[in-house]
Amino acid sequence: HGVNLRAQPPELAEAADPTAAFRSYFEDLRRGATRNTDLKLVLVGNGRVGKTTLKHCLVHGVPPPEPIRERTHGIDATTLGWPAGGEEFRVTIWDLAGQEIYHTMHRFLLHPRVVFLLLWAEETEETDPRELHPVSYWLDLIGQLGSGSVTILVKTQIDRGQKHGTRPPELVGVEDPVVAEAAVSAAQGRGIGALRETISEEIVRFRDRWGYLLPTSWLAVRAEVERLRDSGHRELPFAQFEQLCTVHDARHPRILADYLGQSGFLFYRPGHFGDRLILDQDWLLERIYAVFDPRSQIRQRILRAGGSLFADDTASVWPDHDPHERQVFLGFLTGAELAFHVEGSDPAEYVVPALLPEAPPPFRPGTGSDDLWLEVRFGTLHRALIERLIVRLSGMSPHRRWWRDGIDIEAPDRSWQASVEAWWERNALRVHIHPLRASPGGATTQRQVAASLLRLIRSTLPGAEPVIAGSLDGVVYIDLEKLEQARVAGNPRCVDRSGQVCDVAHFAALPTRAELERAGGENLIPEERPMTAEPQKLRIFVSYAHEDKELKKVLMKRLEGIARSHPIESWDDSKILAGTLVHEEILKGLNAADITLLLISPDFVTSDYCWTQEMEIALQQYEREGKLPVPIIVRRTPEWHEAKIGQHLALPKDGRWLTAWPSPDDFWGEVEEGLRDLIRDLMEKRGIPPKRY
């Protein structure tokens, strides 16, 4: 097409099918294009380094009238126009909380081709040594989570004195990805103008990284989605998003939704959030951050429960939200690998690794002569890595042996056990593999387990190249590459990790790194745990006239029977608690429903509320989102089918009312059979698995 591939949206390469994504992009590009001018400016650094004060200066042009003492908990984002190089960019400035408890979540806000302002100061008011990370820690985090980005190093709080220049001593003479440096006192407004000029220069200098072409149709859909968000819409069903794409001639809605999600414009992951797009990221993140906020009661509650959150408790955790919204929050926690659902738990249990107990379990894998230890060392070990590994390995820990810094696992056939835990003082993961029974292929199995775990670690933190050392006793470790070099050179001696000279022959049973990477056979560790929340359910709303209350009770009994074999959740106005607003609760139930059952009778037709409100909402939902309104003819109701609802298939299928059947059981049996068919069909379309007994 004569277009530079490197100047295209990088998110397309992250799509499930990159080839289809690029093909769709170029097809839509032919019909009109505009250069992207949206950009993220992300402020990162330790707590109390001055990010919030600097953001105020960049947004308002002046320091805040009073010193900002309150910590940022979570995120704070502001969008504004930013002139640079004769163009007007739309820049969203993100202030990310510096406390380590939030770092795991930040990876969902860090995307390729972002401008980072990495703040550091010689002195701050932070007193907790655990929160005083070196600048190299943040550079490593940016490199892992924001590849392709631009980093500007900003020294802050220069009014407190300056012993060093704009670079901290640890970076002097060290090669790093920093493209520019600045020094400011945001509290006094010093250096802000120069910093703005530096930011503008870098935006222009690296323009090709974000100034790619976007199809006009994509921009039109994005503008419409933004309008919906600004008017108060928090979510958008994918069916409605498809309609927007049709209106604006964007031919591949899944590709466009994937791009908008990957670029950070909204949250979208196929199969999550009930196949909806989350438009209001702040709304969702505020509820999620509340789980981790040290000040919140939610966090304290989960800590007291040993890191567990139960589905039955979510109504009190998020009291101002309906069941659908609470399911969205749980779906984000699991889909983002901030929590995992314990398979088979009833009530459903979710474990949050960041809030697990600090102490390891009392019973750990044993040791033996055939054991193998690995030290997987990084430049900086981030807590996010161990937490994600706990999530991904949780399905292999049947005895729930997980804690804040690690997890013990075992083979399904109990042929081996292993542990993976953080070794903070060495910036490493410590892996221990312990065979439980001898086998002719014992060494091969050890290497397969080790190779599988290393593949999992790499897939969890792509792009990282750790140094790997091995040990036969868990005490003396030797770098596997150095061991291989000594073997190839025929050297009888080598230096271990502690600097001591040792015999190469002592490590004869250790595999080399190359041997681990070449290890074939079955992958014994799943590289990604299925990121599912509580098993997805279809929600059914029952609309009826109160004169038909007894008939409604019979229907609810039938639905209870269906629920034993199908993942459904039924709702009617009897679920409304005393003291709540009836109309609002009914609207919540209707809006959350996938299927609305309408008990048609003369009283239903003459009820203004049933006929003109509940039924009308059900019909509108069908037109907008494809949700199913299902009329059930419980009493003879002449000419009901001439209304708009008459265009929909009724139950029983021949439209005969209850007393026209030989017996009530015949009538309700036919209704139940029809409902089961509808539910199975909808489950198949939504990809919802059958309920397990």
What pLDDT does 70 receive?
64
- Position of tokens 């745990």? 529
Out of 66-80, 107-121, 360-374, the most confident range is 360-374
Q: What is the DSSP letter of 526?
A: -
Number of H helices, E strands in the chain: 23, 26
Mean pLDDT score of the chain: 83
What pLDDT does 576 receive?
47
38, 225, 257 from 249: Cα distances, Å: 22, 15, 14
Give the span between the Cα atoms of 232 and 359, in whole angstroms.
Answer: 44
- Find the range with the poorest average confidence among 45-49, 116-120, 391-395, 546-550: 45-49
> Alpha-carbon Rg of the chain, whole angstroms?
29
Q: Which two tokens stand for residue 565?
A: 């074999």
Say whether pLDDT at 73 is over 70. Answer: no
The predicted-structure confidence for 649-674, as pLDDT tens digits, reads as follows 889 987 889 999 999 999 999 999 99
Say whether pLDDT at 420 is over 90. Answer: yes
If you average pLDDT over residues 24-41, what whole number do you get?
A: 87
Per the model's pLDDT, the better-predicted residue between 256 and 101 turns out to be 256
* Contacts with 329 (C-beta within 8 Å, 6 or more apart), sequence order: 284, 287, 288, 314, 318, 321
Q: What is the DSSP letter of 267?
A: B
- Torsion angle in degrees (nearest 10) through CA of 82, 87, 90, 94: -50
Sorting pLDDT into bands at 50, 70 and 90, what band is 394? very high
| Phi, psi angle pair for 182, to nearest 5° | -155, 165
Give the span between the Cα atoms of 131 and 134, in whole angstroms.
Answer: 10
- Biggest alpha carbon–alpha carbon distance for the chain: 98
Q: Which two tokens stand for residue 78?
A: 């502001």
Q: What number of CA atoms fall less than 13 Å from residue 212's CA on the CB side?
A: 21
What pLDDT does 358 receive?
94
What pLDDT does 135 receive?
87
Instruction: Provide the angle, in degrees to the nearest 10, between the axes of the packed helices 238-247 and 216-230.
Output: 130
* Neighbour-count burial for 318-344, b at 16+ CB within 10 Å, e otherwise: beebbbbbbbbbbbbbbbbbbbbbbee
Sorting pLDDT into bands at 50, 70 and 90, what band is 434? very high
The predicted-structure confidence for 132-175, as pLDDT tens digits, reads as follows 788 888 888 777 666 668 899 999 988 887 788 888 888 877 77
In the chain, the domains with their CATH numbers are 37-210 (3.40.50.300), 296-355 (1.10.10.10), 372-518 (3.30.310.200), 538-686 (3.40.50.10140)
| C-alpha 283: how far from chain center | 15
Q: Under a CB-based contact definition with an 8 Å cutoff, are residues 170 and 142 in contact?
A: no
Q: What number of CA atoms fall less than 13 Å from residue 614's CA on the CB side?
A: 32
Return the sign of the alpha-carbon dihedral for residues 265, 266, 272, 274: negative
**Is the peptide bond preceding residue 129 cis, with omega within 30 degrees of 0?**
no
- Find the range with the poorest average confidence among 302-306, 388-392, 401-405, 608-612: 608-612
Per the model's pLDDT, the better-predicted residue between 49 and 192 turns out to be 192
If you average pLDDT over residues 354-374, what whole number do you get?
A: 89
Give the span between the Cα atoms of 315 and 325, in whole angstroms.
Answer: 10
Write the Ramachandran bin of 463: left for phi over 0, alpha for psi from -120 to 50, otherwise beta.
left
If you average pLDDT over residues 369-391, what whole number do you get?
A: 90
Return the sign of the alpha-carbon dihedral for residues 332, 337, 338, 342: positive
**Percent of the chain's residues with pLDDT above 90:** 31
Say whether pLDDT at 581 is over 90. Answer: no
Give the span between the Cα atoms of 494 and 26, in whole angstroms.
Answer: 56
Sorting pLDDT into bands at 50, 70 and 90, what band is 282? confident
The predicted-structure confidence for 218-243, as pLDDT tens digits, reads as follows 999 999 999 999 988 888 878 778 87
| Phi, psi angle pair for 594, to nearest 5° | -90, -30
* Neighbour-count burial for 125-148, b at 16+ CB within 10 Å, e otherwise: ebeeeeeebebebbbbbbbbbbbe
Give the span between the Cα atoms of 221 and 209, in whole angstroms.
Answer: 22
**Percent of the chain's residues with pLDDT above 70:** 85
The predicted-structure confidence for 449-492, as pLDDT tens digits, reads as follows 998 899 889 888 776 788 999 999 999 999 999 999 999 999 99
Say whether pLDDT at 408 is over 90. Answer: yes
What pLDDT does 532 receive?
47
What pLDDT does 577 receive?
40
Out of 117-126, 146-155, 304-313, 509-518, the most confident range is 304-313
**3-state SS assignment for residue 354:** helix
* Contacts with 79 (C-beta within 8 Å, 6 or more apart), sequence order: 90, 91, 92, 93
Per the model's pLDDT, the better-predicted residue between 301 and 626 turns out to be 301
Out of 159-163, 194-198, 284-288, 530-534, the most confident range is 194-198
